[in-house]
Structures are given as structure tokens and as C-alpha cells.
Structure 1
Amino acid sequence: MPPWCCVKWRFTALKGKNWAQSTFANQSSTYDSLGQASNAIDGNHDGVYSKGSCSHTKAGDTNPWLQVNLLQTIAVSGVKVYNRQDCCYWRLHDLVVIVLRGPMDGNSCARQRTVNRNVCVLNCWAPIVGHIVQIVKTRLTGVHDVLTICEVEVYGWKIVTDPEYLKSRDNFAIGRDTSMSSASVGGKAWQAVDGILVNTWGSESCISSTLVDRHPWFKVSVGAMFIEAVFIVFRLDCCERYFNKLYVWVDKRILCGRQMEPYKRGAAVGYACPPNTEGSYVLIEKAPRPPYSEVLTLCEVEVYGCRKEDKNWALGSRVVIEDMDNHNGTSYDGHFVTDGDFSNGFKQSICPTFKASNYLLMTIDLRDVYVYVDKIVYIIAVGDGADAPKELFISLVNPTTHYTNDEACNPISRNNTVPGQYVTTTCTGSALDRLASRIVIKKAFKTNSMSICEVEVYGPLAFRV
């Protein structure tokens, strides 16, 4: 059966989180106010056009398309496209799904030629990494053959984080010492850390244990560091059934991830480690098993984190946002500020705007960690609805001594900042003046809105309690 056919038995192939809902969407043209592109990612499957939950391009558009910006990098495994139900279902034909890393860097994921009246499920022939998903209509039957979509759902796996984050982080595994329990002919342990992401055996950049190895494992030594995540590229040409019962360890004592079911061929998967994970090597192993049945086969292993002097202590910390205008003491969970996701496209659930009508305090609680704070970095959102803060105040709080320092890290900015900017504030004073386990950021004036996506805290570790 050709891969572009949309048939009911394939509907169950895509499960898990829908990465498209409530992100950003645009289209080649818009028919009227009811046919906005954002309707296709609102989470509403209603196929009646008059209810305002479908997108619709203009008649005469010779290259109709709909595009979804996922705001983060995803290994896309497939897409569901929901058709219009009140009429015109025959228009949903000859579609191509393209996954893009950038404006000119895209790959075809799946194709659909025949009409599907209800839901079309398009499985990618292999997972494709990107943050933009585009649905293009490649053939028109007439001037009124438009593109109407009542919901788009995108499925796959989240990569460790987006490219902006990875560019600021070194892959600590590349070129480091490696070992493995056994190696099949043509595979050597160092090939899994050679920096080559081509994931077929013929590339001579993949490794495999032998069939007689009953407990296969792979190890890469990275030296003493904080390990935030491990990234594994699996083979594209075979062996997807071998990916189950896989464990990713740091120093064989801290579990960063486990995989109990097979992935699709060619999957690129990130395993996030618990906060403040310290170690010197990463061990990837399969559960012991009977002989002659499975192997451990990988094409690349990457390790992300930092040396102790480069540690971002805010990552994974608890964040509370308090509305000081509300006499009831309303507080909000602000975990998005320290989740390590550097996607900076404005979105209320990722990079929210704190409205100008309120005084707000953002408290970053490092819990049991005390740091001599050297600098604080924050990232401003970009896009429609994002507001760059004009002036913020920072306080360093030491709960043990009940000392609050309002001067060490101020001012962040006496000038206007701009959307998308990375702002760094250097803290001054003696080590004791900068000793803190809580950082409080205050919006200076009620007339000053702000949109912050991420906050980082740097400095030497003082102690843990």
C-alpha cells in the first residue's frame, strides 16, 4: 500500500502529545474572518465552517499552504489533518507535509493524494527534526479548489531543547573516550561520538553489539560535570525492535531515561536528567536477555550540560509569580522560566506577558543550593503580543541569614530592551553579599509590561543544605 493513502487502520499510529495546539499558524491567503490560520490549531475538531474553527485559503490562490510554528524543535513522526464536514470534503487532496528547521531547510515528511472525508493520518517515512510544519496543496482542480483544514495535530518527540540552546552548549561526548561490551564487524565504539549524524550502517558511523552479548552496553567518559541531557540518534535502516528496554544512566547511579517500547526507525531522542545531576560518564545499556535475540545499536550519542564553573543553577528550579496588586495574595506557577526551553516565540504558556496593570514578583527558588551569584541572564520573547521590560529590579535573598541584597545586581537596564534580546546582568560586591538561594525579580512600574521566556543564574557553588 503506498504511503500517501489515508486509511482508518493508520489512525492509531500517532499517539502522545499534540505539539501543534495553541502554537502559531499562518497560511498563504485567508478567505474571510472565519477562515483564520489559527483556527487549525485551536484544539477544536468541529468541521462546520460557520462555527469558526477551520482555516480557509482564498479562491484563486495557486499555491495554497498552511504552516505551523511549533516554537521548539521536534522530531516529527506524523501529522493528523481534520477535514471540513459541512461541505467540500473533496478539496482535501494532493497534500505534502514538509518539516523545516529554517526558511530554506525543509524535508518532505509524507504525501497524501486521495481524498479522505474525515481525518487523514500522514506518517512520516522517517522522523524529521524541525520546528515548522507546512502542509502544501500540490495540485488544483480549478480556481475554487482551496485548502480548508479544521484541525492540524503534530506528533513526535521533543528534542533536548531548541537550536538556540544547543548552540550555546558544547556536546561533551564528541571525541571522548568510549567503550562497549562487544562490537560487531565494522563497528567501533568511538564511531558513536564522531559527530556524524548520518544514521545508516553504510555510513560507517554506527555501532552495534554482537548477537551473543547477553547484556550489551555503551559507555562514554566526559569528565566531572553537571549532565543535563543525553541525546541519542538511532538507526534509520533497520533494528527499531531493538530499541526497547533501554536505560540511560549517569555513573550507573542516576537514571536519565528509559525506553520500554520500540521507537520508529531513525528516531532522534533526548533524555533529560534530573536537576543537578553530577557525573563523569554516561552508560547506555539494555536489560539482560536470552542470547541470540537482540543487539544494542546506535549511530550517535551526545551529552549536554556544563562544567561546574558554567552551571546554570536556575535550571529546573521552582518559580513562583505573585500578583502584588491582588489583596488575596494570588500566586502562579512559573516553571516555564527555568525549564531550559529557549524557544522565544511569544506564547502565554511558554513566554507569557505580565500585564502593565500589575506589580509582580518572580521568585526563583534554588531550594537547597546556595550560590555566590556572579550574573543573571534573561531572555525576552519575540512576536506579536510580546513586551520587552524597560526596567527590572533584582534582589538576592539568603534565607539562612534572612539577608536581602537589593543592590548587588541592579540595575538590569535603565534603557529600553527589545523583543528577542538576551540580557545579562553582572552582580558585584563581596562573596557574602552575593550569597543567595533565592532570586527575586520585580517589575519596577505598573506601566511596564514584560515577556520573559527564560532566566539563568550563574556563580560558584557555596554549599548545599
Structure 2
Amino acid sequence: MKMTCSSYKFTSGFTRTSDVIVESYTMSLKQGVEVLVTLLLLNATYRCSALINLARGKPATASSVYGPLPGVAADGLPYTDWKHGSCFAVREGDNHPWWQVDLEAYSRIIDVAVTSRSDCCPERLHDFTIEVFTKNPATEIGTRATVCGTYNGAVTVPGQTVNVKCIRSVKGRYVRLKGRKNGSGDLLQFCEVKVFGSIVDGVHNAAKFNLARGKPAIASSVYGPLPGVAADGLPYTDWKHGSCFAVIEGDNHPWWQVDLEAYSRINDVAVTSRSDCCPERLHDFTIEVFTKNPATEIGARATLCGTYNGAVTVPGQTVNVKCIWSVKGRYVRLKGRKNGSGDLLQFCEVKVFGSIVDGVHNAAKFNLARGKPATASSVYGPLPGVAADGLPYTDWKHGSCFAVIEGDNHPWWQVDLEAYSSIIDVAVTSRSDCCPERLHDFTLEVFTKNPATEHSAKATLCGTYNGAVTVPGKTVNVKCVRPVKGRYVRLKGRKNGTGDLLQFCEVKVFGYVS
């Protein structure tokens, strides 16, 4: 018989998060004992819980561009109105519109979710086809498309997400959304594309992933936005968007460093210069890799990945440093060189390509919450998902902090990890420009079923935080009493008198998919 994992719980203890076809066969042994052998047609059994959004933060292109660059439709951010700059559109005169994402790895595509604009014109998302390619059809003439599926008609609900489930699992690297021009004035427009599936091991796969995206970063000094913006994966390369980083002018030994949060094999590093000014500020740098944090561990030894000599002269250019050989470590440091008075180190994005290494060095802890859907007991201001966007902003004006309404007497915030997982600890960051004490006396609970819809869902306690946070922008860690398994993680606050409300800027859930 055939079933979907969504209706089946495996004896190994996990339940599925996306519709994956399973075939079950019953075999009789000599003793008459029946053994249920489950064969996943798409991968080994554990893959059932590991369907992820492969498109998040990946490079995108399009047939034409009106407004924000194509990459905003794969930034994973929850904004669905035009003013936030996270929606994409082609030009009105584009008669053969398409948008395409490079997954950067040979993958198995199961289904694709596309979200329409919420403040206007949802019908601009209509009659589209999802195609998958092994080679880039934008550069390789004659590349053949494999159809995943189609969506017929127009979306009529603002901000609606429509799903296209592949007719069968489709393998490839490039996913293209091909629209259809429907008369004068019509144009293709949407706000987010999520491509669900899994990475395929094999000869087609270069096994290159951006390990740095959303990971914590520090620097020798800071002028302007915090160091983490250079690892946010966003496509902005001008200063006004707040996604570029710079050290202070007087920093004579400048460096920027990212913690990959896992022992990894580094193959190469890509660094993007500022596009609206001063690309030459990215010059003569070295990429070093450390097993221990050199900012806190005196004597931590560097392994050289490679160097870039000279200055970048093209605004917004991405330069690649390929490691002399694959280098293993956890911390990647970009070390600049001061070149006279007035010179400073500045760039907009760093991508570290490689793979996670299994072994004793690796705690296998990852932020499972990043980019995952979130809900809350009430909402004041930005939607709950901003607290799991992985961005480093901790002040209200950036729209990346979350709060419940003041009258909410039983406040909670919850993230769906979209996979049955083992939770080890949770980090929560307070607001930095005001009111850190609004994060106080909270409990972290883990559920297998969604307690917002399943009233009988039972909570397993991860841990609690007692008292109030007093330092603006502080991150507090709650380590689970023991590893807790589940899919939904809920932060449950406590109302503390009139005027009190639950507010914070980021939640990271560390663990691994079970």
C-alpha cells in the first residue's frame, strides 16, 4: 500500500513533516512473525523528517527586474508587502517572465510553495509552471527542463501561499518559476518561494553549501551595522539597506570572524564588495580557519585557507578565495590589512562554502528555528516569524523584534521546526534599544503535536529562565535539563502586572533533526 508520512508514525520515533510517498510491504518469516519493512521511494527512512527549504538564501535570477533583486524572494523573511523590499516583480513589458533559484546542490524536489503579495495585487501570481534543471538554462543553451508541476488560475487572497506538489520527485539544481503574460498591464509578482526537498548525494553534487548564513559573527571593531549582517544571506550591497559591514577607520589590524557553530570542511570563501561606493575597501585580505575561537582562546592556531591580493575595483563584485586545500575548523576569519590613513575594511557579504564534518569535534548543534514558521498568542507589530529570521537586528525600528499585545495575560510564542528534532538548548535575545526587562520569567516547552491546534498535545519541559533580563540586547541561554524531542518549541511568558508584555528579538533553537 502507499501512504504519506504525514499520516504515519515510524517505530524509530519520528513523524514526517512533508508529504513523502512511502511503500510498506509485509513479509512473513519462517516463524510466522510479520515484519513491516518500510521503503522510502525517495530516500532512506530518516530523510522523511528532513525535508527543508532548499531555496533559502540561495542566489536567484530572473528574466527582468522591477524593484528589489530576485534574491529577496528566497530570503526566507516573512514580509509580504512591497514597502519592506522583500517582494519581487518583473517589468510590466516582460512577455516571457520567469524567476529562478540556484539551490547550489543537486537536489530532490518534492514541492514548491509560493506566496503572493499581501498589500496589493495577489492576482499577479497566476498560471505558472515549476521547472527543474540540472544545468543552468540561463547560461546553458539547450538545457532540458523537467516539469515539477503547474498552478492554474490566479491567486485571489492577499498574502496567500500556494503549493505546487511535484507530479513525482524531480532531481536537479536549478528551479524555475515560469509565468504567463496575461494581457497589457499584467506582470509576474510574488514575495517568497520555498523549495522543499533534500540534498542528493552523488556525482552530480558539488556538496557546496553556505555554512556561514545566519551564524554569529564578531569583528575587531564595528562602524555601523553589527558584524552579523555580513552573514545574513541577504542580497543588499549598498550601505542604506544596513546589510554591509565596516570596521572603524582607526582600526590598524582589522578582522571579521564567523562562528559556523559546527566543525566543518571549508572549500572556498566568497566575499562581496559594497556596490554604491568604495569597493576598493575590500583589498589584500587573508582567510584563516580555527578549531578554537581565537577571540577568546589565547594561542588558538590558524590554518590558512587562502589570500586575496590587490583591491576590488568593481562595485558589488564577489571575489572568491579557494582554499589551497580543504581546511577543517569551526571559526573562519577574514583578516584585512590597513593601507594608510583613511583606509578601512568594508564588505557586504561573506559566504563560506563547504560541508559539516562528523566526528568528536562536532557537537552537531544547529539553529533549527531559523526561517521556520512561528505563531503567538497575540501580535503587536511585526509578525512572529521575525523572531526566527536569524537577522542580527535587536532594535525595534528594524522590524526584526517581536512583541505580544499589552493586554495578553497568557503570552506565548511558538516555532514549528518542521521536523521531529532533539532540542539541546535555546537562546533568546532581548531588545537592545529599550526595555530588555520585558523578557523575563519564561518557560520553554517542546511538543510533538501543535498545541495551538491540538488541545490534547502534551508539553515536555526543556527548561526555565527566572528573573528579568537587564542588559539591552543580551542573549540568554536555557539549556534543556536533558535533550528533549519534538517538533514545536514554545516560549511561554508570565504576565507581571499592568503594562508588562512579552518582547524579544530572536530565538535560536539548537539541536539536530532526529
Q: TM-score range by the shorter chain?
A: 0.3 to 0.5
TM-score of the two chains, using structure 1 as the length reference? 0.42
TM-score of the two chains, using structure 2 as the length reference? 0.39
More strand by share: 2
